[in-house]
Amino acid sequence: MRVRLPSWLIHPVYLALINILFPLILLVVWPLLLFKEKRRKTLLPRLGFQRYPVLQQRALRPVWLHALSVGELVSILPLIDALRSRMGDRPLVVSVSTLAAHQLATKRLKDKVDGLFYFPFETALAYRRCLARIQPALFVLVETDVWPGYLGHFQRQGINSILVNGRLSQRTFRSQHCWWSLFGPAYDAFEAIHGQSPAENDRYLALGVRPEQLAVPGNLKFDAISPGRETGGSEGLHRILGFSPGDRILIAGSTHSGEESAVLAAFKGLRETFPALKLLIVPRHPERAEEVYDLALDLDFKVARLTDMEIRIPDVVVINRIGYLSRLYPMAEMVFVGGSLVRKGGQNPIEPAMAGKPILLGPDMSDFPEIAPALLEAEGAVEVTDSGEILDQWRVWLEDPQLAARVGANARATVARHRGTSVGFADAIAERLAHPAQSPPS
């Protein structure tokens, strides 16, 4: 059921609540936030107390790309490269919302963009300071994170906005459909909406987006790793991790609570037949590494952490740092992609697919409604529902390496067929900069 209050009423109420209630809530929870590094380091910048890029001396106003978290940031790396060759001297700035994304962007984008900053909250002080410093010619939102207040501000100031790689989860669809009086004007502010697939564009249409706003769909995540790059750096890691040339390596990537125990149980069963088998576990959130380490210890494995290889020849290695998966996947014989055995929507399977690895996916890949079905249909991945099925399928592939190689080749070919979105989106952005449309009326 939609909330049908008029937008002219609900938007001021929404902004008033943000500016009144948020500071009050912050005063209450502030002591608790100090104990969490990711909150402690991001709160003040997102309240507007950060150093913004100095762009006022530039002849051209910048393009502002916003990527919520690590996944969105990784997906825009090829887009940034494509934009640089099309934008000339126009500045390009990037914002993120999480500490992990900011740390990764600092490493990967240092020489590619003209500024990096945290996306501010919708409090008046934060957004006014940000817009006064950035003054964008175009705002490009990547995938999700629709803030009604910001998009309304952009619209009133004549700043055009577009959404690329757009994604609507079931939960987001339900909530935004219900509160359409709040989110409808936000979507109206987009000059164009590029969903991740034709099906995603249809979901935006069902949500209430105007048909003329829908543009050519495409998924940036298919371009997130370049062919040939997936092998770089793996050789040195192989030695660091204490593995021998004859070891057969399994990887559980981007795992969540509840998944590591299932993978470890399957691994324990396999080790009876394949004693040279090794397991790498990469928790989605590195701060959970100690928890995963203890799970492996409880099963009597020799366990090591990437940052503390006290066991010279480990059975299990827990990766407690971000940014390693792209170099680890080429080492594996097969891969389990996390976030899918529990209700987390799944994590990105493209990197292991591009590395040519046979992939196991849990039943919940709802955050990747185009990628996961394509891999399953092409027989580049297999769906599993529990520890027993993980064990059984990994055993099939370990006993038949030729079958495993065919599945991995199917996965790689599936990704190759869907590449090229970054160039298409860069062309669309460049075209809108060259021929800007009037911002839709507020």
Give pLDDT tens digits for 316-346: 999 999 888 888 999 999 999 999 999 999 9
Question: 165 and 205: one domain?
Answer: yes
Residue 156 sits in a domain of what CATH number?
3.40.50.11720
350 domain residue, yes or no? yes
**Sequence-distant (≥ 6) Cβ neighbours of residue 374 within 8 angstroms:** 414, 418
Question: 428 and 306: one domain?
Answer: no
Give Cα 6 distance to the centre of its chain: 34
Question: 259 and 188: one domain?
Answer: no
Question: 200 and 270: one domain?
Answer: no
26 domain residue, yes or no? no
| Residue with more model confidence, 2 or 416 | 416
Question: 280 and 410: one domain?
Answer: yes
> Could you give the percent of the chain with pLDDT greater than 70?
94
Other residues' Cβ atoms within 10 Å of the Cβ of residue 176 = 20
Mean pLDDT of the chain: 90
The whole model's pTM is what?
0.79
What pLDDT does 38 receive? 79
28 domain residue, yes or no? no
Please name the amino acid found at residue 50.
Q
First to last CA, the chain: 25
pLDDT-derived band at 308 (thresholds 50, 70, 90) equals: confident
Counting the structural domains of the chain, the total is 2
User: Is the pLDDT score of 301 beyond 60?
Assistant: yes
What pLDDT does 441 receive? 43
Looking at mean pLDDT, say which of 46-50, 53-57, 231-235 comes out highest: 46-50
139 domain residue, yes or no? yes
Question: 154 and 210: one domain?
Answer: yes
Question: 45 and 91: one domain?
Answer: yes
| Largest separation between any pair of C-alpha atoms in the chain | 68
User: Is the pLDDT score of 13 beyond 90?
Assistant: no
**Residues 48-61: what's their mean pLDDT?**
84
Listed residue (312, 234, 299) closest to 260, CA to CA: 299
4 domain residue, yes or no? no
**Residues 355-362: what's their mean pLDDT?**
97
pLDDT tens track for 377-434: 999 999 999 999 999 999 999 999 999 999 999 999 999 998 999 999 999 999 999 8
Q: Give dist(CA 399, CA 248) in Å, integer.
A: 12
Question: 236 and 354: one domain?
Answer: yes
Question: 144 and 62: one domain?
Answer: yes
pLDDT-derived band at 303 (thresholds 50, 70, 90) equals: very high
15 domain residue, yes or no? no
Question: 200 and 73: one domain?
Answer: yes
pLDDT tens track for 225-269: 765 454 445 667 778 888 888 899 999 999 999 999 999 999 999
User: Is the pLDDT score of 129 beyond 70?
Assistant: yes
The domain of 370 spans 229-417
Name which of 14-18, 64-68, 269-273, 381-385 the model is least confident about: 14-18
Asked if 341 contacts 263 with a C-beta cutoff of 8 angstroms, the reply is no
pLDDT-derived band at 442 (thresholds 50, 70, 90) equals: very low
Kindly list the distances between the CA atom of residue 442 and the CA atoms of 155, 192, 213, 432, in Å, as whole numbers in the listed order: 7, 16, 16, 20
Listed residue (114, 163, 149) closest to 134, CA to CA: 114
Question: 139 and 198: one domain?
Answer: yes
Question: 214 and 262: one domain?
Answer: no
